[in-house]
Amino acid sequence: MTLLNVSGLELEADGSSLRMGGKPVAYTSRKLAEMRDVLLDADAAEGRGSVETYFMFRSVAAPNMEDLFKEHKVRFDITIIPSMLLGRECNKTVGHYHKEAENGLSFPEVYEVIKGKATFVLQRRMQDAFDVRIIEGKEGDVVLIAPNYGHITVNSGNDRLVLANLVSDVFESEYKGIAEMHGGAVYILADGTHVINRHYSKFSITHFDSPPKTPELEELESQNVYEEFISNPMRFEFLNKPSLLA
């Protein structure tokens, strides 16, 4: 299946593998045993610890564009999340926070849904409570992970979920904060409902049926973030300077 064929970048996916120009792309995966601490049903990992739950392809760019990404300190990634159940939950990423970039603001990130259906769980600690946002995304949608929000991505559809993302390449994600709370503030179940994580005592939840509009994303001429970055990388300067966001 052809995922992208733009600006010299030809990506094809076959199950959980990814090829660029016909050649396999290296990946890392997350195994079920590594997710035990963030599951609603921890026993879902019993006897299945070696199962790969999702696949991460980092720094995917056409060879002639690699220097452009490095110059602007931005990375283009692909993530494939198969459709499966983790106990009662839909398959999901472990979840993480980003480090501070400047002025108390963490590095933001931009996601594009290439194939499938996604539910993004964003959460930010606001003094003694959490602001939680559940955002539904379909194919072609672009979602901004705003500064200071941790995030978890859920495959809430019946087919595999394929995501592209643009993010700064100068930091490493922090997984400890969500792992210590045994996952995100909500668990997304296969029946479309969600369960509150009892380790979060104070929170507010806002549910979005589609990604909220933001000035930075509304200015994009198309929904293909790779092409948009190639054509105007300065448009994504906010990925390293979040103070530029509205």
Is the pTM for the entire model greater than 0.85? yes
Is the separation of the CB atoms in 140 and 157 below 8 Å? no
pLDDT reported for residue 4: 86
Among 86, 79, 102, CA closest to 35 = 86
- Annotated domain spans of the chain: 2-241
pLDDT reported for residue 43: 94
Q: What is the pLDDT of residues 49-66, one digit of tens each?
A: 999 999 999 999 999 999
pLDDT interval class at 222 (50, 70, 90):
low
pLDDT reported for residue 218: 80
pLDDT greater than 70 at residue 221: no
Domain 2-241, second-level architecture = Sandwich (2.60)
pLDDT greater than 90 at residue 196: yes
Q: Which residue has the tokens 């993302």?
A: 165
5 φ, ψ (degrees, to nearest 5): -145, 75
Among 18, 115, 12, 5, CA closest to 57 = 18
CA distances from 197 to 5, 39, 133, 242 (A): 41, 10, 14, 29
Is the separation of the CB atoms in 160 and 115 below 8 Å? yes
- Pair of tokens at residue 208: 């979005």
Q: What is the pLDDT of residues 149-172, one digit of tens each?
A: 999 999 999 999 999 999 999 999
